[in-house]
Chain A
Amino acid sequence: MYPDPRVEALIRDSFFPIRIQVLEKPELMERFNAQWTPTILLLGPDGREHHRIEGFLETGDFLAQLLLGLGHVARARGKWDEAIARYEEVLARHPDADAAPAAQYWRGVARYKKSGDPAELAATTKAFQERYADTPWAMRASVWG
């Protein structure tokens, strides 16, 4: 189903993979509020949803979304270093992916949550002036500067 070995390796190493055939189990679409296929939900170990990927993506964008979701799962659990590392992985490996500006934003949040230092948020605003300035994420971060 995922022909790229990088995708398979990331899923195998990081997730418990569950496949739902929606024609056989349509009730699960309603239970998880899935409206369409393909839809991929990334849940924390507690079963709560932290990220959603809808529609087909090319491999780089898909990998970036999976890493972004892993960052969100770690951030929700207060695992700041792990979250920061996942977001930085998106930025380093997939800087042109749609997920990259979101990763830059949430990396700033995770750094701030870890340190309590508002300078981390201001640094994120500045980072958006240098990269991803034309994205909606730059606007969201603009109030921190």
Chain B
Amino acid sequence: MLDWREDVDAALEEAKRTDRPALLDFTAAPL
């Protein structure tokens, strides 16, 4: 299972801090 994040700004900050690319998945399906 993937560890999806839902808090965009917190996740982008963490991606920056850990020097990893981010994948943003825009979906209309229920989470």
Q: Do A and B bind each other?
A: yes
Q: Chain A interface (Cβ within 8 Å of chain B)?
A: 1-2, 8, 11-12, 14-25, 28-29, 32, 34, 37-47, 50, 66, 69-70, 73
* From A1, A23, A47, A66, contact of B16 by CB (8 A): A47
Q: Is the CB of A22 within 8 A of B27?
A: yes
Q: Given that A17-B2, A18-B11, A19-B6 are contacting pairs, would A44 and B21 also be in contact in the complex, using a CB cutoff of 8 Å? A: yes
Do residues A21 and B12 form an inter-chain contact, with CB atoms below 8 A?
A: no
**B-to-A contact residues, CB < 8 Å:** 1-6, 8, 11-12, 14-16, 18-31
* B4, B26, B28: most-surrounded residue (chain A CB, <10 A): B26
CA distance A67 to B24 in the complex (A): 15
Measured CB to CB, the closest approach of chain A to B23, in angstroms, equals 4
What A residues does B21 contact at CB under 8 A?
14-16, 42-45, 50, 69-70, 73
